[in-house]
Structure formats: structure tokens, C-alpha cells
Chain A
């Protein structure tokens, strides 16, 4: 399907705005790095390190230069794809981020595969029972699950499925050379806390969309002209109700990264969340900055995709 000019213009504008946002984010991230009390060398090497070793370390990473020069150097390299050198591993940050991102995407994808059908089903069932007992219980359940921190639901899940029932492994640390099916088995438990916390959110959006669509004139027309109920649901109600879900699902992709920090730490999984966590612990700022900026870029990309899909699928949203 060709993308009409108006949509293209709209998307380019959105892309330009996300670039501005990312640039501002890079400034904030860099500013955080400058807040480090004392100097980088002291923070990394520890309070007992020799003063000359600290000075040499600072010089070797360029931390003794003016702040603006450091920022320009950092952002200049980033644009060319060089994410810098880790203070801790003394090697390029890029490969670490790539591996972590690939792992996190597996986990996130599984969480979405689990939660999307459940959330949509929950939302539709709630809408069909709007105002009644079934509706209230789904809404309250979703709301409750959504506010419980992921490490709390994670531990309950570990206890039930890992310790008592012994159905699933308690960590995501699969043996070397495990096949995709084994990996999947190890990933189910870690993906569940994420799915649990998103269920209510998705169900709520689907519920609102479905209630609106059920109430709309086109649905009444379809029912009155004698279409079977299932056809009305499929062709008129769901198609309209699921549009906002796309935007919400995409915005959750960025939000997901916050949950990943906790879940990956809890389940010993090497993803972008545990990379950010590990770098924050070790004060490995090049790694931390690269990780956070990657999450920001991912978030920006996800919302662009959401805009694009929405524009393509919903003629009413097309800018005139």
C-alpha cells in the first residue's frame, strides 16, 4: 500500500520531533554523568586507589577535559554508532548492548504474546457485561495487578510455579547450547510478571473501545439489518475497538524496559534491563548512558510505528 503524501509529511514531522526528544534525553543523561561526586576515576577505582592511578584513568578516558568538549565528543561518536568504552570491561560497549537487546526482545515478545490475547479477551468480556459483576471484577483485577511491583508478582509466581508445583525453572539461566524450546521454557516464568502488570492496562483500553463501538450507530445499523452477532462483532465492533490497542501496545514497549530492570535482575537474565542495572551498580557510565539512550530510542521508534499503523488503519486519523 503506498503511503499518501499527507501521512508521510505527518510522520516525518513526528520523526523530527522524536529526534529533538532524543537529543534532549542525551543532554539529560550526560548531565547525570556529570553529577557524579568527585571524579569518575575515583568512583570507578574506589576510595583506596592511588591518586596517580586515578589521574591516569581520568586522562585515559578524557574525563579531565572541559565538559562541552566531552559532550560533543560523546554525541559525535554516538551518531556514528560508537557507543564508547566500558569503564569496567575496558572494551567497546556496543556488542554488550546488542546482545542484551536481543535477549530482552525475546522476553518482551513472549510477554506480549501472552498478554495481548488475554487482555483483548478480558476487555471484550468486560465490555459485553458493562456495569455488571463480570465487568467490575475484570476491571478491579486488572487495576490491582497493574499496581503491584513486578518483583512482588515475580516472587509469588516463582513460589507457585517454581517451588510448589515445580512446573517451570526458577531462573532464566538456561544451560549452554539449549534449543529454542528449552529457552522458551526458561523464559515463561520471567515473562509472566510483565504480562501480569500489563493485563489491566490493555483490557481497560479494549474495554473502552468496545463499549464505544457497541454503542455506535454503525453497530446498531449492522444489527438491525440482520447480520449475525458474530459477524457484527468481528467486522464492526472489534475492528474499531482494537485500533487504540495498537497505540497502547506500542507505548507499553517503552514502558516495558522499566519492568525489565527488575524482572531480569530477579530471574538472572542478561538483557538490557540487567545491563542498565549492572552499569548503575558499577557506576559504569558509558554502559549506563548507552543502555538508557537505547531504551529511549526504542521508545521513540515504537511510538513512530504506532503512529504509522494508526494512520494507515484509521482513515479518520489521517491529517488533511
Chain B
């Protein structure tokens, strides 16, 4: 199998951040939570590679450890959305009928407003924690994934192998999960990586707005929200978190792009 360069680059960036998230404290030169009020807002130097923040905490260490929460929340949210969306897509696409029609209208209503706003509305109602962010992002992703899966299922349902399964008397559940699902799985995988990219986009944006990952986490979006008023004089307290977020988003999207090319061949 040919490996597109985007896939390799994407996986390399992603792997780096996953390593940072897993190893965390073992990689940091300083304690990411330790204040040092004698050395606040010092510019990048030999001891503090990315400088220090308002409380004198080491920015480099915080950026490394900051990868953890977003890399816990976003894969779980994506997984929830993909599993629920795939099931919903199989049911609406294979069974059609009234259930499909009603589900279709509700999905359309949810899409009448940008996802960030739907998420804000839901999080304002249920309160923000890592768990509610996972649930809310998973739920807003579900209809989008269901729509993609449904389209694929509609095409599969006309094929001979489905008719054969029906003729030998397989029940609808068996046909949906035993026959159709394996055939739409590559599509689901590509959709999952694309959604993972969007999940990072949304969770980072929500954390920046204060509706995502909560303090005292050294999360990047959160750190940017706390420090961006200082950008005029102390660029380093914001810029490295910005670059970290951008590189993670980029890594995931390169991976998604690469996977798409692999499966299209």
C-alpha cells in the first residue's frame, strides 16, 4: 500500500503530541504548576525555553502538559459521535420510513445553527466539565456522521449481497451490522478522522471561551484566554500555545487527508 506524505507528516505531528500527553511530567524540565513570583513574565531563555507566565510558571512545561486534556476529551467525544452516528445512520438508511423522515427533520433543525452555538447553548444548560463537553460534542457530531453513513447505506442497500441476505432470511439487525457495516467501515474511519479534527477545533474554541476544559488545567485554549490581554508586551505567554494548537489541528487534518487518499485508491 502506498503511503501518502500527508499521512506520514500528520501521524508524526500527532504522535509527538500524543507522546507529550502520555509522558507529560517526565518530559518537562520544570514543574508546570509551580509558581515562581521572583521570575514572572521572563522572556524565553536557556533556563526557560518558552519564557515564564504571569505567575512565573515555565511556559514550555505547561505547553507539554497542556496536550493532555484536549487529547482525552476530543477522541472520546469523536468516538461517541461516530458510534452513535453510525448506528443512527444504519437505522435511518436501511429502515427508512417514518423514523428516517422524523430523524431527518430533527437533524436539519440542529444544523440550522453553527455547532459552536449549539454547544454553547447545551453547555450553558448542563454546566461545563470534561464529561459534559464530551457528551455535547459527541451529540452534535452524531447527526452529521449519521447523514454521511446514511447516504452510504442507501447505496449499499441496493446491492446484491443485501438482497441475498434478505432472501436467506437474515433479520434487519443482522443485515445492518453483519453485512452493511463492514462495507461502510472505511468511510466511517475517514469520517472519524475528519470529525476528530473538528473536535479539536471546537474544544479549543470552547476552552478559549471558558466553556471547555476548566482551570487549573494548563490547556492551550484556556492559557490563551487567560493571557491574551498581555500579548502587546509578552508575546511568549500566548504564542507557543497558539502554535501548539495550530500544529495539532494541522496534524489531525493531514492524517485525515492522507487516510482519504489511501481509501480512495
State A258–B140 Cα separation when bound (angstroms): 14
Q: Which residues of B contact A269 (CB under 8 A)?
A: none
Q: Which residues of A contact B95 (CB under 8 A)?
A: none
Q: For residues 129 through 169 of chain B, which have their beta carbon under 8 Å from a beta carbon of chain A?
A: none
Q: Which residues of A contact B106 (CB under 8 A)?
A: 24, 28
Known contacts A147-B250, A158-B231; is-contact A35 B114 (Cβ 8 Å): no
| B23 is an interface residue with CB less than 8 A from chain A | no
State A257–B115 Cα separation when bound (angstroms): 10
Contact A262–B232 (Cβ < 8 Å) = no
Contact A262–B208 (Cβ < 8 Å) = yes
What's the dominant secondary structure at chain B's contact region? helix
| B172 is an interface residue with CB less than 8 A from chain A | no
Contact A149–B117 (Cβ < 8 Å) = no
Contact A280–B211 (Cβ < 8 Å) = yes
A7 to chain B, nearest CB (A): 22
A305 to chain B, nearest CB (A): 15
Known contacts A21-B109, A28-B110, A155-B231; is-contact A37 B116 (Cβ 8 Å): no
Q: Which of B29-37, B48-56, B76-84, B234-242 contacts A (4 or more CB under 8 A)?
A: B234-242
With CB as the reference atom, state the residue of chain B lying closest to A277: B209
| A20 is an interface residue with CB less than 8 A from chain B | yes
> CB within 8 A of B205: which of A32, A33, A144, A149?
A149
* Binary A-proximity of B201-219 (CB < 8 A = 1, otherwise 0): 1001100111100000000
| B224 is an interface residue with CB less than 8 A from chain A | yes
Q: For residues 171 through 202 of chain B, which have their beta carbon under 8 Å from a beta carbon of chain A?
A: 197, 201
* Binary B-proximity of A149-161 (CB < 8 A = 1, otherwise 0): 1111001101100
| B19 is an interface residue with CB less than 8 A from chain A | no
Contact A21–B209 (Cβ < 8 Å) = no
Q: Count chain A CB atoms within 10 A of each CB in B117, B123, B224, B242 and give the residue with the most.
A: B117
> CB within 8 A of A276: which of B120, B205, B235, B242?
B120
Q: For residues 260 through 314 of chain A, which have their beta carbon under 8 Å from a beta carbon of chain B?
A: 261-262, 265-266, 276-277, 279-281, 283, 285, 288, 292, 295-296, 299-300
Contact B224–A295 (Cβ < 8 Å) = no
With CB as the reference atom, state the residue of chain A lying closest to B116: A258
Contact B112–A143 (Cβ < 8 Å) = no
Contact B235–A159 (Cβ < 8 Å) = yes
What's the dominant secondary structure at chain A's contact region? helix
| B1 is an interface residue with CB less than 8 A from chain A | no
Contact A35–B105 (Cβ < 8 Å) = no
With CB as the reference atom, state the residue of chain A lying closest to B256: A147
B141 to chain A, nearest CB (A): 14
State A286–B111 Cα separation when bound (angstroms): 21
| A36 is an interface residue with CB less than 8 A from chain B | yes
Q: Which residues of A contact B250 (CB under 8 A)?
A: 144, 147-148
B127 to chain A, nearest CB (A): 7
State A152–B228 Cα separation when bound (angstroms): 11
B227 to chain A, nearest CB (A): 10
Q: Which residues of A contact B122 (CB under 8 A)?
A: 32, 35
> CB within 8 A of A147: which of B115, B120, B208, B253?
B253
Q: Which residues of A contact B105 (CB under 8 A)?
A: 20-21, 24
In the A-B complex, the 8 residue pairs with the closest CB atoms: A258-B114, A24-B109, A280-B124, A35-B125, A258-B116, A296-B112, A280-B120, A32-B125
New A-B pairs, 15, CB < 8 Å, besides A33-B125, A155-B242, A299-B113: A25-B110, A32-B125, A144-B250, A144-B253, A149-B205, A149-B208, A149-B245, A257-B117, A261-B116, A261-B117, A276-B120, A281-B124, A295-B114, A299-B112, A300-B112
Where the two chains meet, the residues of A that have a C-beta atom closer than 8 Å to any C-beta of B are: 20-22, 24-25, 27-29, 32-37, 143-144, 147-152, 155-156, 158-159, 162-163, 170, 254-259, 261-262, 265-266, 276-277, 279-281, 283, 285, 288, 292, 295-296, 299-300
Listed by A's residue number, 22 A-B pairs whose Cβ atoms lie within 8 Å are A21-B105, A21-B109, A24-B109, A25-B110, A29-B121, A34-B125, A37-B126, A143-B253, A147-B250, A149-B249, A152-B246, A159-B238, A159-B239, A255-B114, A257-B114, A259-B116, A262-B205, A266-B228, A276-B120, A285-B124, A295-B113, A299-B113
Where the two chains meet, the residues of B that have a C-beta atom closer than 8 Å to any C-beta of A are: 105-106, 108-110, 112-118, 120-127, 197, 201, 204-205, 208-211, 221, 224, 228, 231-232, 235, 238-239, 242, 245-246, 249-250, 253, 257
